[in-house]
Amino acid sequence: MPLSDASVINQVYPVFTGILATLVLGEKYEKSQLLSALICLVGVVFIVQPPVIFGGSANVDASENGSKMFGAVILLLGGMMASVVEVLVKKVGSKTNAGVTSFVFGIIATMIATVVSLFQGFVALKWHHIPWFIWLGILSFLSQVFRNRAFVIGNAGRVSNMAYFGLVAVIFWTFLSLETQ
């Protein structure tokens, strides 16, 4: 599945965040959020093209279709988990600062990644990759700090919808790299 398709499917999480913020935090679910949710869900259907709606294709074998559906389900589950995280950040974030929340995320993620690596096998980094991973860590931390702060001070559903800007960025970078697969 191309990165741009996966990113579009993953961007369904603001739909879940808006609904969850309404149920858990009592936030208002606005008409603009509903419109955004409908557009997002229709977009996911057009990308995934489930055979139930679009019918099977003679040019695509069943295993490829199954892999795409499995990938879409995994991305949707990841989106649901991201929504739970965003609502939790909104709920508990006002009791601490965004840096502490991000730091705790990092510690817990490190512990989980260590355990997962034990079962999946650890792959050593090559020296020339280390600067990229340092940048990845710095930018991920800063991104999470800014996101956490935004959720604390804003409406969770609306803030989550702002993440669609990230989709535009991914499509831009995909186009720039001329990725086709």
The full DSSP string for 20-33 is HIIIII-----HHH
Q: Give the model's pLDDT for residue 145.
A: 82
Average pLDDT by stretches of 10, the chain with 181 residues: 69 84 88 83 76 61 67 83 84 76 82 82 80 86 82 78 69 66 47
Query: How confident is the model at residue 133, as a pLDDT?
Result: 85
Determine phi and psi for 82, rounding to 5 degrees. -60, -35
Q: Give the domain range for residue 71.
A: 3-177
Task: Please state whether the predicted TM-score (pTM) of the whole model is above 0.75.
Answer: no
Longest dimension (CA), the chain: 56
Instruction: State how many domains the chain has.
Output: 1
d(CA 25, CA 6): 29
